[in-house]
Amino acid sequence: MNKKLSIGVDLGGTNLRVALVSEEGEIVRKIKKTSADNVFETLTASIAELAQGEIAGIGLGVAGLIDRARGRVFASPNLRAIEGIDLVSDLNKRFQVPVFIENDANVAALGEKKSGAGRGFENFVLLTLGTGIGGGIIHKGELLDVSAEVGHMSIAFDAEKCQCGNIGCLENYASARAMISRAVSMLEKGQESLLKECCKGSIYKLTPEDIYKAALDGDTLSREILRDAGKALGVGLANLINILSPEAIILTGGLIGAWNIYVQEAIKEASRRAFKDLADSVKIIPSSLGDEAGIVGAACLVFMNNAKADPKR
């Protein structure tokens, strides 16, 4: 029997990650699978494999909007396979332990707070910079259980429609999807660029890494795309700084690989825009747990909630 271990699940993106995590936030063992149609079966099998002793519970970080009142996902656009499944009660029935659910970026923030780049801060915002843009907010050392959908804050109220229904969302300017879509559209228009030679000529397979590499090789289009996306990110950072006056903003996700152009530009733009006293004191830094922040944070949900239920423990 080991009540000091719990299972953290990250159902955030294209991969399913499951880990056995200690109360100190250390990963004991982990499994990574490619999300498939049978997500629920893969998930339960992975949990069963890891949770061989007794565990304190299961924490889930799921991409999508969480219905906290009912412990469910409202809608998970990237994970149609789990829509309609009541993950919390199904896993609770299957494993007979408490199950908690949160948004994937929220648990990543919790993970960074527990044992990552957020350890030294009581108030910070974490941003996941990938295909889309997500966020999580830590205040007074604790996770704010709010939506934190910072990628869907409008920074251009009169511009192009976002797939979420809003107009001019940050995500439409600063995400990997936005960069790729702009690159493809410029290449289709015949713009000269080193990107043409990437991916054996199929521009539809372009990745943010291709753009960053081409930018480092001096490609004008790529540099412009990264800088403009960085500027837009800076607008979002300034908004978050003016609203939440965090001590730090922690950045994670694939795009931080392009730190030297994209993130540097964002930091410059944010400090130009936000209230000077707030901008001067905020630290904008990379995550230290990277892809593993989610499973650590998800597992922490369990310890956190169990401690609240039994404060004498």
Which string of x and - marks every residue 164-183 that binds a second copy (by CB under 8 A)?
A: xxxx----------------
The encoded tokens of residue 112 equal 């960074």
Is residue 276 close enough to count as binding a second copy by CB under 8 A? yes
Candidates 26-34, 180-188, 191-199, 270-278: pick the segment binding a second copy (CB under 8 A): 270-278
Report in angstroms how near the CB of residue 117 gets to a second copy at its nearest.
Answer: 20
Please give the torsion angle defined by the CA atoms of residues 180, 183, 187 and 192, in that order, rounded to the nearest 10 degrees.
-140
Could you give phi then psi for residue 3, rounded to 5 degrees?
-80, -5
Catalytic residue of the set 10, 104, 210, 219: 104
CA atoms within 13 A on the CB side of 239: 16
Residues 6+ apart with CB under 8 A from 80: none
Report in angstroms how near the CB of residue 143 gets to a second copy at its nearest.
Answer: 11
Is residue 309 close enough to count as binding a second copy by CB under 8 A? no
Residues 209-238 that bind a second copy (CB under 8 A): 231-232, 235, 238
Q: Which residue in 111, 132, 135, 253 binds a second copy (CB under 8 A)?
A: 135
104 labelled catalytic: yes
Task: Walk across the sheet containing 124-129 and list its strands.
Answer: 142-143, 133-139, 124-129, 248-252, 283-286
Distance of CA 292 to the CA centre of its chain: 11
Please report, for residues 118, 120, 224, 235, 264, the alpha-carbon distance to residue 268 in angstroms, rounded to integers and kept in the order given.
Answer: 22, 24, 15, 10, 6
Pairing between strand 5-11 and 15-22?
antiparallel
Which CB, 7 or 155, lies closer to a second copy? Answer: 155
Is residue 204 close enough to count as binding a second copy by CB under 8 A? no
Q: Which residue in 155, 179, 250, 301 binds a second copy (CB under 8 A)?
A: 155
Q: Which residue in 2, 22, 92, 147 binds a second copy (CB under 8 A)?
A: 147
Q: Which residue in 22, 181, 191, 242 binds a second copy (CB under 8 A)?
A: 242
How many angstroms separate the CA atoms of 185 and 180, rounded?
8
Residues 32-71 that bind a second copy (CB under 8 A): 65, 67
Positions marked catalytic: 104
